[in-house]
Amino acid sequence: QVQLVASGGRTVQAGASLTLSCVASGLSFDTYDMGWFRQAPGKERASVAASPYLLSDGTPAYVESVKGRFTIYRDIPKKTVYLQMNSLRPEDTAVYYCAARYGSRRRSLLDLNDYNLWGQGTQVTVSS
């Protein structure tokens, strides 16, 4: 049974840093694309960042609004994907979800509709 367990969300002030973690079990971690997505109050779920499966030779992808501030990376032995978030802004406030899909070079990493395995969310609140 596949499980994705996200954690690390909390309330921080604008400008702070925060790292989210997502531990995966029940899947071959290195053959799956892993992504972080978020849903702000009153808005649809949106892509944030994604990490391609290990043999893809690809590079992580980020939405424009987080480029240069967020970093997605994996710890293979721990089967964990992280989202390092720096210079947080109030507009980053959302529930953050991690998700997985079987790796593919042919599909956009940031297409959230293509991810079929989802964890529970973790709340990030950035106060001004």
3: left (phi over 0), alpha (psi -120 to 50) or beta: beta
Cβ atoms < 10 Å from Cβ of 42: 5
pLDDT, tens only, 76-102: 999 999 999 999 999 999 999 999 999
% of the chain residues with pLDDT over 90: 93
How large is the greatest C-alpha to C-alpha distance in the chain, in angstroms?
41
How confident is the model over 1-29, as a mean pLDDT? 97
- Tell me which residue of 97, 107, 94, 30 sits closest to 65, measured CA to CA: 94
Q: Which pLDDT score is estimated for 104?
A: 83
Average pLDDT, the chain: 96
> Is residue 107 scored above 90 in pLDDT?
no
DSSP state at residue 89: -
> Is residue 55 scored above 90 in pLDDT?
no
Q: Rounded distance, CA 45 to CA 97, Å?
A: 9
How confident is the model over 14-21, as a mean pLDDT? 98
